[in-house]
Structure 1
Amino acid sequence: MGFIDSSVTAIAMPAMRTGLGASLVQAQWINATYLLALSSLVLAGGALGDRFGTARVFAAGILIFVAGSVACALALDPGQMIAARAVKGIGAALMVPGSMALVSRAYPVADRGRALGLWAAASTMTTALGPVLGGMMITWGGEAGWRMIFGLNLPLGLAALALIRGRTAGDRGAAVLRVDWVGVVLATLGLGLLAWALTQPGAPLGLWLLTALTLAAFLVWQAMAPAPMLRLGMFRSRLFSLTNLVTLFLYFALNGVMFYLPMTAVSAWGVTELQVTAAFLPISVLIGLLSAPAGRWADRIGPGPLMAAGSALVACAYAGLWWTAASGDFWGHVVPLMALGGLGLGLAVAPLTAAAMQVAEDGEQGAASGVNNAVARVAGLIAIAALGQVAERAYGSGTPGFGLPGAGPVHLAATGAAFGSVALIGAIMAGLAALLAMGIGGKAQVIARR
């Protein structure tokens, strides 16, 4: 539920914008608010699990997430939707680290890296599967279709609670552990200001300065806090820092293209919400098929080569989307190129998460996984916030505007230029991820550099 949410919202966005009367900036915030709450609270969510019990906090996150989903389904305007999405993000921040911790406890140390790598692959696979479910519901559900997307979380949440039942009784946590509430506030405020600045055309210098000061204050506090939510000492490892930079760039590219492609295809290329799922289904299939083999190959040759090759394929795919965006040929160009990107993700995702722990010091694998997951969500937040302005500027001042239904050659050309700009930046970011991954090297280099 936590990972499928962003992608399923992306494909529903054209219908949601029409139903709620939302502008492009409001559409960005509908998704960015969820990622803001998730990325800024996910590390604290892990600490809360340690303090009050992992299974207990996990179950509480499910309840909050389901409540937010119901509020989304009943929202009447963009403001209500944005607030409900924030609630969902809080619930996801409690669920996500709890799921990682439960997986970690279920496997011995020798198998934990591969298990968490499969966890990451499953999260990315469901992220890509979201548009498929969303397309079916919107196409077959009429005007209420996008509301049904959020209503689906009610039975899913109840099923998850049934599965976790019985695990909470003896899960008391450790009362002596502390939660870094100051860090939570500073992280949320800093990332929120950053998203606000990125979504505001011509944001004033004062806003950028306030953002920089808040994020700097967060880092200073993490260096001196008695129980920091982010252990800065882990970044002394060059390989750990490189791995998280690869995550930042690759997930920036992935989230940017996945958010703006459905909006483009539905509004200008004459593709229905159900048809547009053909561009996302190959990602789910290829990640599902390749995750286990990629994990084994990473164990044999090291994660760096697979991460580099996979990121390079994603860069090639997104460069192709940029090159062909003007034609609006969804079936001839977009679907095959997205399949190529899915092949790259299938090679890169599982080794990427495994690498984040492989290069961490002993005893810090759980924290390393949490940091890597937080970096991936922050990448999505930044991508969605920043690329909206890029798309708007490339579209120009014509009507009806980027992401809104329209017809005619002018709208087609403007939309193609807008999405092409998004895809080009995605290609550059994925290319940078490939270059950085080459610095991680193979298995022997990783072990030696540890």
Structure 2
Amino acid sequence: MSVPSSAGPAGVRLGTTPGRAVVAAATLGSGMTLVDGTVVNVALKTIGEDLGAGVSELQWVTNGYLLSLASLILLGGSLGDRFGRRRVFVIGTWWFALASLLCGLAPTSQVLIVARVLQGMGAALLMPGSLSMIQGAFVKEDRPKAIGTWSGLGAIAAAVGPLLGGALVQYADWRWIFLINLPVAVLTVVIAQRWVPETRDTGAAPHFDVAGAVLAALALGGTTYALIEWGGVPGWVALGVAAVTGVLFGQLERRSDHPMLPLGIFADRTFSAANAMTFVVYAALGALLFFLVIQLQTVSGYGPLQAGLATLPITICMVLLAAKGGELAARIGPRVPMTVGPLVMAAGTLLLLAVDDEVNYWLDVMPGITVFGLGLALLVAPLTATVLAAAPDQHAGVASGVNNAVARSGSLLAVAALPLAVGLGGAEYAEASAMDAAYGEAVVICAFLLVVGGIFSWLTIRNPLG
């Protein structure tokens, strides 16, 4: 039986220099990937005009990143557990930075899509490490607060993406939304290399599960591609590949003495339920931000910066209240925050139905986006802490990889499938009448998903005893 271990100083405390460094490096690294997950939405319209791309190509600018990220993030978590979480995190950060450079220099939409796929690969290495470094380095009593801090700052990064993207697109060039990652990556690596202790699972097998890694990537990648190409022949072929490789992966991992993904972690009801909740919430979150920023530009006449600024209340809510949400969950348990949070988000989502061609920001946008941000601040830290607390310490990287894969898959499903589901294909995203009709349907679907998530949490999440 493997046990948690550290290759460096064990038992880091939150208020110390190493403690602050672990949180800083983890937040900068994951924040960089989260910003890129939302910043691109604001720039899509401008990228499409500059590179002559249609809606399908613009979807692949987003989905190419999410495809490689979802396919490989489980592998990234497992590599960190075995070969060192800091080491894999640093490698992923450098990879992400170089891919960002290629994105910023891309001369065509096709090159940009390839570069985004490479970006997703780098993110798959660094994202699980950002969370598992915290879980592996901190003493147990400091983990909830550290995770809460990381979750809150990460959510701020995701929310500030549209604001940053809007400013860069409007006053500089859309290419800077990628090039800005380079100095952030350098700072992240310097902090990680100098102060973050190395941790790993010393009970891991000496030989890596190559077959398991390949099957997992095919299963996750096939599922993701099937969502992107849903309804077409390639989608059905990808779904078949995903089903076959998924079954083979399960059989292989069940028989292995040292599996890449210990299937036993899913036997924990809380772990499985919290991951299901993650999928639903991030599907709604990804879809809402995707549709809102385009609606504001295409229908309401906002510029890129205005569209980005419109989401600023989410950032303010996360800055002021995310840590409080984690503290509340630590006192009363995660069940109530994980139930009420999505319901509040759903209420805010429905308020955003008022966004149209005669929008008044203070009456039609700010109330809805603020209520949405309040619900997100209440939910995000308890959700992440609940997932990790339900998994053994030695599998922190795998557990983080699973949760991140679920979150990215939820966002992917929304961005890939929802536009088609509400009749938005071809170049309709640039036509005000078509976009307005699709936006209304999409907002209602997002609110429904969040209500389902809140009810599901109440029925499945239990507070820890004691």
- Report the residue type matching 2:359 in the other structure: D
TM-score of the two chains, using structure 1 as the length reference: 0.88
Show the counterpart of 1:447. Answer: 465
Q: For structure 1, which runs of at least 5 residues remain unmatched after alignment?
A: 405-410
Equivalents in 1 of 2:194, 2:148: separation in Å?
26
- Report the residue type matching 2:66 in the other structure: L
Equivalents in 2 of 1:414, 1:186: separation in Å?
41
Matched, 1:324 2:370: no
Show the counterpart of 1:190. Answer: 219
Pairwise CA distance, 1:441: 5.0
Show the counterpart of 1:403. Answer: 429
Spell out the pairing of 1:362-373 with structure 2 (5 A cutoff).
Answer: 364=395, 367-373=398-404
Equivalents in 2 of 1:221, 1:212: separation in Å?
14
Q: Say which of 246, 256, 264 aligns to 2:277.
A: 246
Pairwise CA distance, 1:281: 1.3
Matched, 1:416 2:447: no
Show the counterpart of 2:78. Answer: 47
Describe the superposition over 1:199-233 as per-residue Cα deviations: whole angstroms up to 9, x where unpaired: 33631355543443333333333333443333221
Pairwise CA distance, 1:118: 2.4
Q: Say which of 321, 335, 340 aligns to 1:304.
A: 335
Matched, 1:83 2:114: yes
Equivalents in 2 of 1:418, 1:229: separation in Å?
42
The 8 Å contact of residues 97 and 181 in structure 2, kept in 1 or not, is answered as yes
Residue 319 to residue 108, structure 1, CA distance change in 2 (3 Å): same
Q: For structure 2, which runs of at least 5 residues remain unmatched after alignment?
A: 1-31
Matched, 1:181 2:207: no
Show the counterpart of 2:366. Answer: 335
- For this pair of structures, how many residues does the alignment match? 431
Spell out the pairing of 1:114-153 with structure 2 (5 A cutoff).
Answer: 114-141=145-172, 145-153=173-181
Pairwise CA distance, 1:169: 10
Show the counterpart of 1:230. Answer: 261
The 8 Å contact of residues 53 and 168 in structure 1, kept in 2 or not, is answered as no
Show the counterpart of 1:425. Answer: 445
Spell out the pairing of 1:351-362 with structure 2 (5 A cutoff).
Answer: 351-360=382-391
Equivalents in 1 of 2:444, 2:222: separation in Å?
26
**Percentage of identical aligned residues:** 35
Show the counterpart of 2:182. Answer: 154
Deviates more, 1:21-30 or 1:145-154: 21-30
TM-score of the two chains, using structure 2 as the length reference: 0.85
The 8 Å contact of residues 42 and 304 in structure 2, kept in 1 or not, is answered as yes
Show the counterpart of 1:26. Answer: 57
Residue 226 to residue 82, structure 1, CA distance change in 2 (3 Å): farther
Describe the superposition over 1:184-213 as per-residue Cα deviations: whole angstroms up to 9, x where unpaired: 333333333333333336313555434433
Matched, 1:218 2:249: yes
Pairwise CA distance, 1:52: 2.9
Compute the RMSD of aligned alpha carbons.
2.5
Equivalents in 2 of 1:116, 1:223: separation in Å?
30
The 8 Å contact of residues 311 and 434 in structure 1, kept in 2 or not, is answered as yes
